[in-house]
Amino acid sequence: MQLIHCKEKKGQKHMTKREFNKVMKKIAEREGINPVEVEREIQKAIDAGFYSTEIKAKIEWAKIPCKGERPNPNEFISYMSKEVKETVK
């Protein structure tokens, strides 16, 4: 299976660590778990999706800018937030 790696894009803005922690805390309170567990579950979902064998999925994952092989929760949420904002304009 060939992986499509994401690429860091210049000018891509991610949430600050403080903003990210605030989001994780809010989700954790709603779900009744701690913020670390929220982040861990998001990363597990990213990992599972990233290794999809579907070509369309690979193309979409390649659009998400990240510093590593695959996006971390901050990179993923920042990208998806931007996409949603642009969609509802």
Q: Burial of 27 by CB count in 10 Å (0-12 exposed, 13-18 middle, 19+ buried)?
A: middle
Q: Quick count: other Cβ atoms within 10 Å of Cβ 42?
A: 18
Give the per-residue pLDDT at 2: 46
User: What total of structural domains would you count in the chain?
Assistant: 1
Q: Which residue has the tokens 């670390």?
A: 36
Tokens at 21, concatenated? 């922690």
Query: How much is the pLDDT for 89?
Result: 75
Residue at 7 is within a domain: no
DSSP SS3 for 85: helix
Residue 1 resides in a domain: no
Coil vs helix vs strand at 75: helix
State residue 70 phi and psi, 5-degree precision. Answer: -140, 160
Per-residue pLDDT at 32: 98
Is residue 44 situated within a structural domain? yes
Let me know if residue 3 belongs to a domain. no
Q: Each residue's pLDDT tens digit in the chain (89 positions)?
A: 445 556 655 566 788 999 999 999 999 999 999 999 999 999 999 999 998 999 999 999 999 999 988 999 999 999 999 999 888 87
Is 68 a member of any domain? yes
Domain with 52, as residue range(s), is 17-22+29-84
**Cα dihedral sign, 45-74-21-36:** positive
